[in-house]
Chains A and B, each alone.
Chain A
């Protein structure tokens, strides 16, 4: 008998994205540029994170017209963002047929206490995390893919690096622990015990773990792969750069060949300016998207 929406089918979808780049797009034209450059998926949005920052106000799920326009334009998978805790936005996106939902801190949270129960959906979810505990809480709620939160829309990779370093170092620590120590660690991290046990036994998360939030150059993408990411999300970094087509192609290649430094040097030549970016240290606490959600 055929079964849809199983854990294996949902997590498997993310496995197929590994080693690839997922790009933010706001219309059909950008989606086609992303696909032609070799994106493994596109994220359909009303505004890229840098513009969401600039616009201020409440950021919500994109107009379904944009999501449908992007879905009609490309054959690669299409993702879309719902607000943290906004079950109805997520159900709407599922009904549109998007291939993956990002329960995202880039949008203004709809619920400051509860994230969406993602087990109740056929469509898989990706969620942001800053550390192992947060990643395992989201997986416990049914997320099929994890990404670092980074600091979206800044073009500054420092927070994504911090989050991936933290995650990898905690995974190494848990892997080498004695079984006796695991429950205390689960309490300390606020992580579900059974999922922490999986990490202890397998030395990795039970789902794919991507980098996101501030990736702006081919070298940034390669750095995140070097730190153990399975793939990369690029939000504002492509379409806020001088030459989106070139940046998109170069970031795709740098992600595949992240250890080929001569190639990355060549890819980085005459690219034009990357997005201008923001020094994360200059952001006020209430301007930080990474601290949304828990």
Chain B
């Protein structure tokens, strides 16, 4: 199963390593044409403003919207979650606008407030070590969105059909269970692509 990692900026290698660990074939995606060769894609952690600008510049914004319309799974971590969000608090525009969620950028504060903690993630793990770095939060969810994990009563992971997101960075640990969950999504949707 070929799974891409958007390689415009950010923690690309870490995602590729974990995809390999769960038995997928990872591909670094730098050009829009490469999207045709993969069954799912991860939008990695990085700086959402940087990745968002480069995405738009190279036409990844519309290409990824089409990718999702074909029922191909997309997993966004941290900056990737911001890219997927339909609404970003405090600004009147979004990046891909694919998920019915409202997010708050840098919701915990600056880097000194960044932290790691154990989380329960529905259908993934009871004891997942989650690393939050200048992380966003999901303030609210809309139709068809299922909450997968909460931290102190706030939403930090969710799924909407073929779309998956997390505020934290599963790529910063050796724990591949979140990647395995995404691989199962890709396998599940592969038969249904339109």
Q: Which residues of B are in contact with A by a Cβ distance under 8 Å?
A: 7-14, 30, 45-47, 49-50, 53-54, 57, 78-79, 105-106, 109-118, 131-134, 169, 172-173
Stretch at the interface among A173-181, A183-191, A252-260, A277-285: A252-260
Q: Of B46, B49, B57, which is within 8 A of A16 by CB?
A: B46
Nearest CB in chain B: distance from A98 CB, A: 8
User: Bound complex: CA of A99 vs CA of B114, how far in Å?
Assistant: 10
Residues of chain B within 8 A of A41, CB atoms compared: 47
- Number of A residues near B (Cβ < 8 Å) is 36
Closest to A15 in B: B11
Contact status of A8 and B172, CB under 8 A, knowing A19-B10, A40-B9: yes
The answer on a CB contact under 8 Å between A256 and B9 is yes
Nearest CB in chain B: distance from A64 CB, A: 15
Residues of chain B within 8 A of A75, CB atoms compared: 49, 105-106
Closest to B47 in A: A40
Nearest CB in chain A: distance from B107 CB, A: 12
Residues of chain B within 8 A of A39, CB atoms compared: 50
User: Bound complex: CA of A76 vs CA of B53, how far in Å?
Assistant: 13
The answer on a CB contact under 8 Å between B172 and A76 is no
Contact status of A99 and B8, CB under 8 A, knowing A9-B116, A9-B133, A16-B47: no
The answer on a CB contact under 8 Å between B14 and A38 is no
The answer on a CB contact under 8 Å between A19 and B117 is no
User: For chain A residues 1-60, which have a beta carbon within 8 Å of chain B?
Assistant: 1-6, 8-9, 12-13, 15-20, 35, 38-41
Residues of chain B within 8 A of A77, CB atoms compared: 47, 110-111, 134
User: Bound complex: CA of A4 vs CA of B169, how far in Å?
Assistant: 15
Q: Of B50, B105, B115, B169, which is within 8 A of A20 by CB?
A: B50
- Counting chain B CB atoms within 10 Å of each CB, which of A2, A13, A17 scores highest? A2
Q: Of A6, A12, A97, which is within 8 A of B169 by CB?
A: A12
Residues of chain A within 8 A of B7, CB atoms compared: 19
User: Is A109's CB within 8 Å of the partner chain B?
Assistant: no
User: Is A239's CB within 8 Å of the partner chain B?
Assistant: no
User: Bound complex: CA of A41 vs CA of B114, how far in Å?
Assistant: 16
Q: Of B9, B12, B105, B113, which is within 8 A of A4 by CB?
A: B113
The answer on a CB contact under 8 Å between A123 and B172 is no
Residues of chain B within 8 A of A3, CB atoms compared: 115-117
The answer on a CB contact under 8 Å between B111 and A8 is no
Q: Of B30, B49, B131, which is within 8 A of A9 by CB?
A: B131
Residues of chain A within 8 A of B30, CB atoms compared: 256-257
User: Bound complex: CA of A40 vs CA of B10, how far in Å?
Assistant: 9
Q: How many A-B residue pairs have CB under 8 A?
A: 112
User: Is A68's CB within 8 Å of the partner chain B?
Assistant: no
Residues of chain A within 8 A of B113, CB atoms compared: 4
User: Bound complex: CA of A19 vs CA of B79, how far in Å?
Assistant: 14
User: Is A170's CB within 8 Å of the partner chain B?
Assistant: no
User: Is A69's CB within 8 Å of the partner chain B?
Assistant: no
The answer on a CB contact under 8 Å between B116 and A19 is no
The answer on a CB contact under 8 Å between B117 and A1 is yes
User: Bound complex: CA of A147 vs CA of B109, how far in Å?
Assistant: 26
The answer on a CB contact under 8 Å between A13 and B12 is no
User: Is A94's CB within 8 Å of the partner chain B?
Assistant: yes
The answer on a CB contact under 8 Å between A19 and B8 is yes
Apart from the given pairs A9-B131, A76-B50, 19 other A-B contacts in the complex at a CB distance below 8 Å: A1-B117, A6-B116, A9-B115, A12-B169, A13-B111, A13-B133, A13-B134, A16-B134, A38-B53, A38-B54, A40-B9, A75-B49, A76-B47, A77-B110, A77-B111, A77-B134, A94-B112, A98-B110, A98-B111
The answer on a CB contact under 8 Å between B116 and A16 is no
24 A-B contact pairs sorted by A residue (CB < 8 Å): A1-B117, A3-B116, A6-B115, A8-B172, A8-B173, A9-B115, A12-B133, A12-B169, A13-B134, A16-B10, A16-B45, A16-B169, A18-B10, A18-B12, A18-B46, A35-B49, A38-B49, A39-B50, A40-B47, A40-B50, A76-B47, A97-B110, A100-B111, A256-B54
